[in-house]
Structure 1
Amino acid sequence: MQGKADVWIRRHQGADLVSMTSLRYQQRRGGRWEQHTKADYGSQRGNSYRNDWKGRGTGGIFARMTPEGLVYAIIGVNAAVFIMWGIAGKRAKSLGDIKLLNWMMKHFTTMWHNLQEGRLWTLITPAFSHSEPMHFMTNMFVLYMFGADVAKVVGKRRFFIFYLGAAACGNLLSAVMHGVVLPAARGDRSGITKPGLGASTAIMGITTLFACLYPTSTIFVLFVPMPAWLAASGFMVWDIWRLVNAHRTRVDGAGHLGGALAGLGYYWFRLRPHIRRMR
């Protein structure tokens, strides 16, 4: 697929504002936090979300994990794939062997070409795939900061499913945008085989869901404090601009926006009805 090592990644999904900012939050243990911990966000075979994350009732691997442990496990998988990219790149550059590199391209990147070839799993696998150190560290830092608190609300099993679902939504929108929309609108067919990767699709879903659950929590962006809802809204507006101007930027605004919309949709249609019934 790729002939030279120096073009092995031409487009990747950066971590939106968080890829170039210092971002952290101060969670307020009151108000909505108390509301969420007392809520039962639906059940499956009699097991509530809260029973899931507290380790009772569901059994299996998720019952044995803490929310923090699940986040660490996801980070661990991302780290393993990051190492694989490093090995593939080194072999391509030093030995001229691009077999592993091509295999990674086929199975751990998002592009319309991969979907055309039937590799539908590439809607999910890029959410565990990073080839650049800063990209990897930034995404994992944000996942570490926000992931466990979201998992405590929705449950560990559903958090993991949501992680995959947000990634699939973002990667599908990205592939369609670069492989169908841009070629039709501008005649630029290069996006069909341009690879995208990164956990940013899932991370944007998680941070957007966090902002919906804790809208007044304080987030520092470029050391400027602001409520979570404002930060999340700003990220989405910026990604809409990048979506419209996709030909001008390497960062994948379509992928980010798809992940963020997944977070917004999950809150609005799945969690919000339970919150309203508590009032």
Structure 2
Amino acid sequence: MLLPYRCKNPPETFPLATYLLIAINIAVYAVTSDGFLQVKESVVDTYGLSYQNMSARNWAASLFLHGDPMHLLGNCWFLHIFGASVEGRLKTPKFLVLYFFAGLTGDILHMGIFGPSFPDIPTIGASGAIMGVMGAAIYMFPHAEVLVFYGYGLYWGTTAWALLWVGIMYVAFDVVGVICCGPYSGVANLAHLGGVGGGLLFALIARVKRDTETQSQARSVLADSHDLGILNKYELRSLADTAPDDPLVALHWFRAEERAGFGFSAQCLDGFRRNLRKMIETLPVESVGQALVSYEAAGYQMPIRDGLQIALKLEGSAAPNLAATLYDLLLKRQDLDKESASTALLRRGIVSETKLGLYEIAVAHYEQVIRVDSMSPLAEQARHRIASLKRIGRA
């Protein structure tokens, strides 16, 4: 016996459809089975797919019917193992197209070869669709690490295989089933093979990105640690190739190249700039702020608006010194317009006054705000703050 129990290939986005399909399959079995022991014969006769009844209704319904708990459990388990990462790469709409397309190609192959000889024998189950998901996974993630449980007699244990070899193993089982048993095995092996073929065909037509061995190794490490910080810059670059719009990957890639000490690659900088807005909106403010300080210190120029926004967020964090540093870097810029300069000066003064207790420095910044534009509302705020400090003897 060989059973995969974990695919170390984290999905790029939450696999909503995968788990909805699992839930729907379980719910359908609950209402169509006899005490959850086996599917009702009347349901199979009415909704099963056969050569003499290949209506669209029966085809769609048969994909959600299962004969017994083991049939249901096996399909749901394989959908969980392979579906999450496939949906994460394809995204939900394309994943659903793949699922039903593979179910269709599996049924076409099975009915086309065995149907004429057994026109009244219905088939049920999502196996063809799920094998299609595995076929797409073989194409997209051939090097992904899959943990496999094996058992034969007294010999039991676990091992790790590349997803490609796991897929080949199950395809081989179905080929042997067709050769040895034909239509009498009790398993629709041809539907499985047709599903795998449909999944591979879909991935080829859709031109889905394939992971290299390096990318799969990085994903395997990530699956164990959930910490991108332990990956080196080469592994993070590989991840960025598959997830170019992931702000967390872009941030960690930038920090990894900074740690390596040989400057930043053009691809890394491009990913950092492209994802900066998402970083500011979704990631811890201290991490993004430190990266922006490093970015500016390395001679690159952060967008002024983004720099002001992240510095303002840092004022309310546990790192007000980082906010002050960002304001100082912005104030050195030659391209700073009058309003942005006044804003940075005022905020720098407020940080010095309220967070750092540096009152003389605060007053100096407030006075600069007044010199930049004495008639602006910001200058009025600066005068008010200076007056307040004088009243309490701090200025």
AA aligned opposite 1:240: V
Equivalent residue for 1:261?
197
Equivalent residue for 2:49?
110
Equivalent residue for 2:78?
142
Report deviation, 1:91.
Answer: 12
> Matches of residues 188-227 of structure 1 in structure 2 within 5 Å?
191-219=118-146, 220=148, 222=150, 223-227=158-162
In 1, are the aligned partners of 2:7 and 2:82 still within 8 Å (CA)?
no
Equivalent residue for 1:86?
33
Deviates more, 1:213-222 or 1:167-176: 213-222
In 2, are the aligned partners of 1:124 and 1:167 still within 8 Å (CA)?
no
Distance 1:84 1:101, change over 3 A: farther
**Alignment partner of 1:169 is 2:169:** no
In 2, are the aligned partners of 1:85 and 1:101 still within 8 Å (CA)?
no
Distance 1:217 1:89, change over 3 A: closer
Provide, for residues 53-107 of structure 1, a one-character-per-residue CA deviation record: whole Å limited to 9, x for no partner.
6xxxxxxxxxxxx42x322211121112212221499999xxxxxxx74354222
In 2, are the aligned partners of 1:106 and 1:114 still within 8 Å (CA)?
no
Distance 1:221 1:165, change over 3 A: farther
Q: How much identity, in percent, do the aligned residues show? A: 21
Higher-Rg structure is 2
In 1, are the aligned partners of 2:9 and 2:85 still within 8 Å (CA)?
no
In structure 2, what is the Cα distance between the partners aligned to 1:89 and 1:156?
Answer: 30
RMSD: 3.0
AA aligned opposite 1:24: Y
Which structure 1 residue ranges, 5 or more long, are not aligned? 1-19, 38-52, 54-65, 93-99, 184-190
In 1, are the aligned partners of 2:132 and 2:195 still within 8 Å (CA)?
yes
In structure 2, what is the Cα distance between the partners aligned to 1:215 and 1:120?
Answer: 34
In structure 2, what is the Cα distance between the partners aligned to 1:27 and 1:234?
Answer: 18
AA aligned opposite 1:230: W
Aligned partner of residue 25 in structure 1, secondary structure: strand
TM-score, structure 1 length as denominator? 0.64
Aligned partner of residue 112 in structure 1, secondary structure: coil
Distance 1:237 1:275, change over 3 A: closer
> Matches of residues 67-82 of structure 1 in structure 2 within 5 Å?
67=15, 69-82=16-29
**Alignment partner of 1:231 is 2:171:** no
AA aligned opposite 1:146: F
In structure 1, what is the Cα distance between the partners aligned to 2:188 and 2:127?
Answer: 9
Equivalent residue for 1:44?
none
Report deviation, 1:170.
Answer: 0.7
Report deviation, 1:177.
Answer: 2.0
AA aligned opposite 1:113: Q
Equivalent residue for 2:320?
none
Report deviation, 1:27.
Answer: 2.2
- The 4+ residue runs of structure 1 with deviation greater than 6 A are 88-92
AA aligned opposite 2:88: K
TM-score, structure 2 length as denominator? 0.46
Aligned length: 204
Report deviation, 1:120.
Answer: 2.6
Which structure 2 residue ranges, 5 or more long, are not aligned? 151-157, 212-240, 243-395
